[in-house]
Structure 1
């Protein structure tokens, strides 16, 4: 049913649930598992991030650590992808590039409020993805 699964993560509790779910699905369907972390440069603006020197590097380093954690705790091989830009656009672009059959992501990320049932990135991915999406 699924040959290629993409899981998006930001290290939040919801994203960690998504990683667990995506790993289980990949194992069950013997599917390729890809994980993506997107440094949200739209939040701060690329010019601001590049002017402050180490901030972009720190954000990318955090993304690399989160992706390493996904790889370490998954019982299937994981292809990790670190990107910068608008998260929903980068998730969709990468999903298209790898021809993902399914996208799995947390229902809300680090910046979502406790009363939000669906965060803005998850909402945009669900609304615009040209493939099935599961939120955890």
Structure 2
């Protein structure tokens, strides 16, 4: 259980970095584009950052199935975009909608990456 907790903390740390990149891109694009377009571009950028960090730091000693990561990241980008689109359509401020969407896809992403994308093997310790 302690290994899972350490792994989850590492995943959250990488996620914070990817999320910061996502929010910076989102806020910059929001000046020129709709919330839906802005979050789509920002989510793709954040997913690329998350992939690099997950591959080389979080799940470093695990085999990575790149196609599975693409499928997972695509589902997260689409869920994120859908949530932001719906919430802004219903009158929520764009930044609040983005925060709700980010929160909603975080746990989903960890579970899918941990058990499916990076071939779960709890006996393997992450790179220290």
Q: TM-score, normalising length from structure 2? A: 0.31
Return the structure number with greater helix share.
Answer: 2
Q: TM-score, normalising length from structure 1? A: 0.30
